[in-house]
Structure 1
Amino acid sequence: MFEDNKGLVFIVDISGYSQFIREISPPQGISIIRHLLKGIIKCNFLSFKISEIEGDAILFYHLGTPPSVKDILKQFGHMRNSFKKNLRHYYLKFPNIKHLDLKAIAHYGNLVEFRINRFYKLYGNILVDAHRLLKNSVPSHAYVLLTTDYLEQMSNFPIDYSNTYGTYQCDIYDVGSLCYTYFPYNDAN
């Protein structure tokens, strides 16, 4: 019925969503968010499975050996480019929409995939940790956050890469300390 595996959770989340839904009517907001999320899903070249879409976030996952750091960063770059391109279609009609951006969390650990009717769901502490990490102290609205648990799986990941291009830090949550390296993005990325 279910099997305990190791896997990657990759959550892609829209920064600025709470402000966005306060400033726009539901029919317009739904139409825009649907278009933006469909663009993100279309760019899923790593063929991640989708567990859930909740509001402004897509919970992607991959069982087994995780993709490389290079592939994760490239995947996010493609998704963000699509997001920004689709977002530009709305700038004239909704100028306040320019504050929206993307962030992503990549976390690795024990993960159980189970089925409820035609839906596949995930279970495990990895999900609790990943959701906590969406509320972090990263001083950017557009970034990829790679947890230490994920990075430890990358035997060919150069340690100095995270110090040169990313920033290492830890945040304290009700589940304890969670450490990660984040890579900020801006419109030049």
Structure 2
Amino acid sequence: MLLDKKGTVFIVDISGYSQMVKEMEPTDGISIVRQLLNGIIECNHLSFKISEIEGDAILFYRLGVPPSVEDILKQFAKMRSAFTNILNYYRQQFPHLDKLDLKAISHYGYMEEFSVDRFTKLYGNTLIDAHRLLKNSVPSHGYVLMTTNFLQVMNDFPLNYDTDCGKYLCDIYDTGSICYKYFLFDQKDDIEDLKCNKQKNNYEINLSEKASV
């Protein structure tokens, strides 16, 4: 395969969506979900393409060189801030919306585009693994998960399992294990104090400021 067929998959998924569908009237649920998904898409400042919108998830992708870890985290912070602002408008009328949160999966690998009618679809194991990772062992509903495949191509983020920036885990699936780091977001639309101090290259990530939309 050619190098230009490598790319980033970025899946943004609404946690708690299934329970919301059970508890809400369809008219209300559709209206709220439409606004939430539009709010997420409007914060796509990294110019990802959209392959699919699958109910509660948006499958973004971009071929070529992946965005930096910092850019991914900043974009997610903006998406989650927009998401929270929309939820806040409806919380008084629908208190159970408090159960909703936002998570994202970043994965990197080979993929190919193909057309079906006017739609562009993606093909490859990279997509399959990214979807598997929506079921994982992260102890939170609001986070960004970045696979080791993604992190290993980051010149500004050499993979270091001992760093306190992100938490390292591996999950076992039917095709084998997939390892990743996850970055937790708290309940206030702030990024948890994510600091990476690497003595070797003096690189630091500090994203503790409040995300703005």
Q: Same fold (TM over 0.5)?
A: yes
- TM-score of the superposed pair, with normalisation by structure 1: 0.95
The structural deviation recorded for 1:4 is 6.9
Q: Give per-residue Cα distances to partners, 1:38-75, cap 9 Å, x unaligned.
A: 00000100010000001100000000000000000011
| Structure 2: tracts of 5 or more residues without a match | 192-213
Contact between 2:12 and 2:57, CA under 8 Å: does it hold in 1? yes
State how far apart, in whole Å, the 1-side matches of 2:48 and 2:104 are: 14
Q: Match of 1:64?
A: 64
Q: Kindly tell me the number of residue pairs found equivalent between the two proteins.
A: 187
What secondary structure does 2:157 align onto? Answer: coil
Q: Match of 1:151?
A: 151
Q: Match of 1:115?
A: 115
Q: Higher strand share goes to which structure?
A: 1
Q: Match of 1:91?
A: 91
Q: Match of 2:6?
A: 6
Contact between 1:5 and 1:111, CA under 8 Å: does it hold in 2? yes
Q: Match of 2:137?
A: 137
The structural deviation recorded for 1:165 is 2.1
The structural deviation recorded for 1:82 is 0.4
What secondary structure does 2:141 align onto? Answer: coil
Q: Higher helix share goes to which structure?
A: 1
Bigger shift: residues 135-144 or 154-163? 154-163
Q: Match of 1:47?
A: 47
State how far apart, in whole Å, the 1-side matches of 2:163 and 2:176 are: 23
| Structure 1: tracts of 5 or more residues without a match | none
Relative contact order (C-alpha < 8 Å, sep 6+): which is higher? Answer: 1
Q: Match of 2:104?
A: 104
The one-letter code of the counterpart of 1:157 is F
The one-letter code of the counterpart of 2:135 is K
The one-letter code of the counterpart of 1:148 is T
List structure 1 runs of 4+ shifted beyond 6 angstroms.
Answer: none
Q: Using a 3 Å threshold, how does the CA distance of structure 1 residues 123 and 165 change in structure 2: closer, same or farther?
A: same
Q: Using a 3 Å threshold, how does the CA distance of structure 1 residues 101 and 125 change in structure 2: closer, same or farther?
A: same
Q: Percent identity between the aligned chains? A: 63
What secondary structure does 2:163 align onto? Answer: helix
